[in-house]
Amino acid sequence: MSRRYKNLYVLDTWRRYGNWLVVLALAGLTITLIYTLNKKADSGTPWLICSAVCLGFSSSMWLRQRFSYVQLQGDLLLIRVYATSCRIDLADIRRVRVGRLLGALDKPDRRRYLPRGRAAVRRWQEREALLFRLRQPDDGRLRRVLGRRCVFEDEVVVPLLDAGGLLRDIETVTSPRQDPVPNGARPAGTRRNRRRR
């Protein structure tokens, strides 16, 4: 099975908020336990509800980042975000390359998807994305999976962990296969063979 390349949008959400939600949930459970030991269970109920909500959100974020990736499956490109997925035939892709995410979004119709604030810009400025153009504009399937900030008519911009690795995998599949020529052997149509005839 080929390698899975993580979706950085989803991974970033988990890294920024998931750990804090787990900490809040553990703090809520601790306070609930203290109230219970002091025989004040009613006072601990709101904390218990709060910790349950935090655990629910953090679990959802963890599952979302765990099952959000792009994977090459033979001649198909599988794009998955949590429970939804879409497969694209490599023959339907006109051009594929790797570029800077901020550069790909720095166009008039895409600037609203650029990160806001200096900290966000610093966090994303070195991130690479897989950019590919479809032969036909997206019919809505990709946009339902990836969202509006990744799909722009016939162009798709997906920030990935090691986008260059996926590009190499795609090029390996799409490049024409050449049979290796044994050492010392020459193809039949070479100049030397033609002279002998």
The answer to whether the beta carbons of residues 116 and 149 sit under 8 Å apart is no
- Read off the pTM: 0.77
Q: Is the pLDDT of residue 179 over 50?
A: no
Give the residue among 164, 12, 150 at the shortest CA–CA distance from 88.
150
Q: Is the pLDDT of residue 107 over 60?
A: yes
The answer to whether the beta carbons of residues 55 and 21 sit under 8 Å apart is yes
| Domain segments of the chain as ranges | 4-66, 90-174
The pLDDT score that the predictor gives to residue 158 is 94
Percent of the chain at pLDDT above 90?
Answer: 52
Work out the number of other CB atoms within 10 angstroms of the CB of residue 29.
18
Rounded distance, CA 24 to CA 58, Å? 10
Q: Is the pLDDT of residue 99 over 50?
A: yes
The pLDDT score that the predictor gives to residue 24 is 92
Record the tokens describing residue 174, joined without a space: 């799409």
Q: Is the pLDDT of residue 132 over 70?
A: yes
Give, to the nearest 10 degrees, the angle between helix 19-37 and helix 41-66.
160
- If one compares 88 and 177, the residue with the highest pLDDT of the two is 88
